[in-house]
Amino acid sequence: MSNKLIIKNLECFREERTIFQRLSCEIESNQTMLVRGKNGSGKTSFLRLVAGYLKNYNGKVLFNDNDLQQNNEPLTDFRFIGQKNSLKDNLTVRKNIEMWQLIYHTKKDINKIVDLLDIRMLLNKDINTLSDGQKKRVSLSRLLISKAKVWLLDEPLVYLDLNKVKLLEDIILQHNDAGGITLYTSNTNNDLNYDHLINMDDYAIL
């Protein structure tokens, strides 16, 4: 099935302050969108709004013609991965993956997941013994566990070396080729391939 995300004249608020305004864009299956901008320009807020975590906005967020402000059921098709790894430090990598399988009601092949992310050697290690880069890769396993159609990734390249950036790019391409959509923020020089670019500086109220 082909998927389409349409943003129309979006305006986001935080308490009494406008974060950004007049943002419109479209993205569909097999495509990736890079979201750039200065710190404080609203990159993370934009992804969190699309994911359904921020409700205080004007404008439209449409997924496959569903207005997400009126009908939030399609939000189960979205997966947001923030800069915080959201890992259970006192559990092993394997236990974290098994926990997410329970949360997302899926039963994916753990062997396939760990091989794609090159974390097999970490499976029986506690999270609190891992490096930041290793934690990042384990955190990204949530994408492969879930059945989400839209991936929203906030600074996913932080702590990844060039080889691991290529690994993530390959995973995103597989997701997109299967009808998925990917949006990600980045302030690094190691951009993934992308089809669309949003510069939040054009919409931010700084």
Question: Residues 66-114: pLDDT tens digits?
Answer: 999 887 777 889 999 998 878 999 999 999 999 999 998 888 888 889 9
Buried b (16+ CB within 10 A) or exposed e, 117-139: bebeebbeebbeebeeebbbbbb
If pLDDT is split at 50, 70 and 90, which confidence band does 196 have?
very high
Average pLDDT, the chain: 92
pTM of the model: 0.93
Residue 119 belongs to domain with CATH number: 3.40.50.300
pLDDT for res 142: 92
The model's pLDDT over 149-165, given as tens digits with 9 standing for 90+, comes to 999 999 999 888 888 99
Spatial distance between the Cα atoms of 158 and 132, rounded to a whole number of angstroms? 9
Number of domains in the chain: 1
113 burial type by CB count under 10 A (0-12 exposed, 13-18 middle, 19+ buried)? buried
Domain assignment of residue 198, given as a range = 4-202
